Structure 1
Amino acid sequence: MEPTTQGQAMSALAHGYLNRAGLALIITILAYFLLNGAQVFETAVLVPKWTAKPPASLSVLQGLHAPDLKTFWIVAHSIHEITFLIAIVFCWQLPAIRNTLLLILMLHVAVRVWTIVYFAPNIMTLQKADTDLASPELLAAVGRWRSLNYVRVTAFVGLSIWTAGLLANFQREPLLNQSTPKQFTSMDQRFSVITLGVDNLPAQLAFYKTKLGWESVAENKTIVFFKMNGFLFSLLDRKALAEGSGVQAEGQGFRSITLSYNVSSTEQVDQLHEQFKANGITILKAPTDTPFGGYYFTFADLENNVLEVAYNPYIPQDDTGNMLTHYNIDNL
């Protein structure tokens, strides 16, 4: 697989995730607007009717033909809240959107609790009120319910508009596992890939697989990768490893092993190269492109052990620099 193809595959994965998250967000926004549309209709049409001239107007809520508000709102709110929770799950890798959705959910729950504690019990009481018996308490209760309902519906509508506003910056929100790297200033205390140079790769591969029971994550005719605990261990032809490191394969110049420090961009390779040169570190091989789209340079410690700083598009990392795996290299 060509590096550009691999990059396209990675981009497709991110694009697919964003599509699913976006769809979940759009569905919950639509559910919220439908819910609030019903609430606005109730507030603008139904509430004025049954609050017009109480207690006589309360007959709108009573009798065989009265609307079943309790069942309707239980179903409507349940549908919206289920879609909202699904949207949070699907947007979990988008920190800003996820956190905003959680905040909106908290505020929504607060208004819902207010609805359950005050509005629902009071309207159920009014549905049972005597339409022939007027009292100051009844008139006050109806007026208070109507006034507070305006506040409640306004809060719900505001939350739905806030939720819809998340779509404006949706495409610019980075995935959590593809977030902007922390400020790059120097080499962290870690290694990414340990490569052992071998004279007989098939024999060594058979040894690690059959004798040790290891399983490779990627391999071809010249190199094999094993996923370890947070880093990769690889076997590579000894001469190829020496040539790639800029040293001789025999004698004191090469120890048959390199330690690789992987970074997330070619710019970071160049940055460390300039930094190491300025610090007087021996550079064995200047920054070099690889046929598969990588970029690296090698340097030596005081005892001529070979170390490498590399960018490899086939090796994804987590946010702490741990190696996750190695993408398939059969076609390289």
Structure 2
Amino acid sequence: MWTPTLVLIAAATLAACASLGGGLYEAVVVDPVWPRRPGIIQARNGGISRRRFWIPAHTVFEVLLIVALIAAWGAPDVRLALLVALVSHAAMRVWSLLDLVPKAVDFEKADPSSVDEDAAVAWTRRSLLRLPLDLVTCGAMLAALAIA
């Protein structure tokens, strides 16, 4: 395979793995705590800003994935793996944008004392369901890289 295409696939794979790592970090470190202490996900209250990671992380991955897909279109096995990554990532993003992100923004904007802890816990449980889709995306990207 042409070296620039291989580099694109490798960079997209790295970005996919970084996103999976970010998701795991949130699931293991942030999500178990914030429903009881909502201020830690509110940047205005000294907490973390999830946007500072997720917007660039998703943008970089999505651009790299699309460019890698275009560059590797002539290699059917690589193309298939990249398309699997694209579909699994798109499913996760659409679901997140329609369901999880609006509720996360509401939690981030709310007064910490008014956040419903049960609703926050339910959100964190639904958010965990994104991880299997991220695993599929990473696995498909690693497969594309190995095939290339």
TM over 0.5, yes or no? Answer: yes
Verify: 1:155 aligned to 2:133, yes or no: yes
Query: In structure 1, what is the Cα distance between the partners aligned to 2:10 and 2:134?
Result: 17
Q: Distance in 2 between matches of 1:44 and 1:133?
A: 24
RMSD of aligned alpha carbons? 1.8
Q: Which residue of 2 aligns with 1:84?
A: 65
Aligned-pair CA distance for 1:72: 2.6
Give, as a single letter, the amino acid of the residue that structure 2 aligns with 1:68: S
One-letter amino acid of the structure 1 residue matched with residue 40 of structure 2: V
**Pairing 1:1-20 to 2, within 5 Å after superposition:** 17-20=1-4
Instruction: Count residues in correspondence.
Output: 147
Match of 2:107 among 121, 126, 132: 126
The equivalent of 1:29 in structure 2 is 13
- Tell whether 2:108 aligns with 1:168: no
SS of aligned partner of 1:34: helix
Partner of 2:78: 97
Partner Cα separation in structure 2 for residue 129 and residue 44 of structure 1? 23
SS in 1 for 2:2: helix
The 3 A distance-change label for structure 1 pair 61 and 131 is same
Q: Is the 8 A contact 2:39 2:45 kept in 1?
A: no
Larger proportion of helix: 2
Distance across 1 between alignment mates of 2:113 and 2:12? 44
Q: Which residue of 1 aligns with 2:39?
A: 59
Shift of 1:150: 1.1
Q: Identity percentage over the alignment?
A: 24
The answer to whether the 8 Å contact 2:38/2:108 transfers is: yes
Structure 1 residue 26 displacement after superposition: 1.0
Partner AA of 2:119 in structure 1: A
Runs of 4+ with deviation above 6 angstroms: none
Q: CA deviation at 1:99?
A: 2.7
TM-score when normalising by structure 2: 0.87
Q: 2:34 aligns with which of 34, 45, 50?
A: 50
Query: What CA distance in whole angstroms lies between the structure 2 residues aligned with 1:77 and 1:24?
Result: 16
Distance in 1, matches of 2:129 and 2:103, equals 16
TM superposition shift of 1:24: 1.5
Partners of 2:2 and 2:10 lie apart in 1 by 12
Distance 2:60 2:78 in 1: 21
> What secondary structure does 1:49 align onto?
coil
More strand, by proportion: 1
User: What are the residue-to-residue correspondences of 1:146-225 with 2, within 5 Å?
Assistant: 146-170=124-148
Paired residues for 1:151-300 under 5 Å: 151-170=129-148
Of structures 1 and 2, the larger Rg is shown by 1
**CA distance, structure 1, for counterparts of residue 73 and residue 100 of structure 2:** 33
Cα displacement (A) at 1:64: 4.0
1:61 maps to a residue whose letter is I
Counterpart CA distance in 1 for 2:48 and 2:97 is 18
Letter in 1 for 2:38: L
| Pairwise CA distance, 1:78 | 0.2
Between 1 and 2, higher relative CO (CA 8 Å, sep ≥ 6) is seen in 2
